[in-house]
Amino acid sequence: MKIKKYNLNSKDIWNNFNKDAKNGLFMFDRNYMDYHSDRFIDNSLMFYENEKLIALLPCNVSQNILYSHQGLTFGGFIVDENMKQSKMLECFEVLKEYMKENNFKKLIYKSTPYIYHKIPAQEDLYALFRNNAKLFRRDIASVIDYGNMIRINSKKRNKINKSKKSGIDIVYSDKFRDFINLENEILSKYHNTKAVHTSDEMEYLKLSFSNNIHLYEARQSSQILAGVVVYEYDNVIHTQYMANSDEGRKIGALDLLIDFLINEKYTDRKYFDFGISTENGGQFLNHGLISQKEEFGGRGVIYDFYELCI
């Protein structure tokens, strides 16, 4: 087995493997990963056995540390249905040798939550355990299982029904400026930060992945009150960004929009993932945020981070 460092000449090979992988996602497509290539030094790896590609590992490097990958929500090994446990252990042995040869001190590994797997693909977690990797961060996301939905409580349902009488329109948009401006306004006011993406970046990604990235807005008299950016995967709908104006909070605009997405738009999926409610490397739980997600029936799914020292 040998490792090849990814380069642009391998773009189509990478993308074709990811498309057919048992845990491949559009987020691992090079057209998505490379839009922010100026922010990260890419060090993605391709694993070959007898000249056949058997695994991908999206990575970037910073200060002699290999990350999988700082520009992605989660990541880790991308493998096809032929990957078995013994082969994954071999991948880790080869990876450790590669890291030693290239003077990497450690690997920071973001595992992909199981709900995003097309078929079971947790061979990497066992291999991490066998190699004494340390679990150093754990985030909690709130997820609705469409096969076992929890009824929304009556208080929340009454609030949504009231919002339906407020003249709020749910609209689909491919123009992100108003939403990103709202997102930045809220983030600046309450968290002293700003959105990871600019409106131009989101519109570029939307153009490149028109079947996967969607913006829904709640408007009243053409004014944006709330918005949700949805990332659509095979099994999962993920709310990548949510924003709610002060006026939107008063009349339940975001609740109405989320209810539409869960109970009308995306009823054909397995899971609806609200994303994480933790901060400070998982050490702080935003109780207010997670309670809002739990009121819709979301329950816990873990996002794990591991450290493998060489």
User: Which class for 277: exposed (0-12), middle (13-18), buried (19 or more C-beta within 10 A)?
Assistant: buried
Look at 185-199, 276-290, 294-308 and tell me which has the smallest mean pLDDT. 185-199
Predicted pLDDT of residue 49: 97
Decide: residue 157, CB within 10 A, 0-12 exposed, 13-18 middle, 19+ buried: middle
Delimiting residues of CATH 3.40.630.30 domain(s) in the chain: 2-132, 143-303
C-alpha closest to that of 77 among 43, 36, 109, 53: 109
CATH for 143-303 is 3.40.630.30
Residue range 71-88: mean pLDDT, rounded: 96
Q: Is a pLDDT exceeding 80 seen at residue 3?
A: yes
How do strand 134-145 and strand 106-110 relate by DSSP bridges?
Answer: unpaired
Residue 109 pLDDT more than 80?
Answer: yes
* Percentage of the chain exceeding pLDDT 70: 100
Would you say residue 37 has pLDDT above 90?
no
Instruction: Provide the pLDDT for residue 36.
Output: 79
283: pLDDT strictly greater than 90? yes
Residue 188, SS3 per DSSP:
helix
pTM of the model: 0.95
Report the topology of domain 2-132.
Answer: Aminopeptidase (3.40.630)
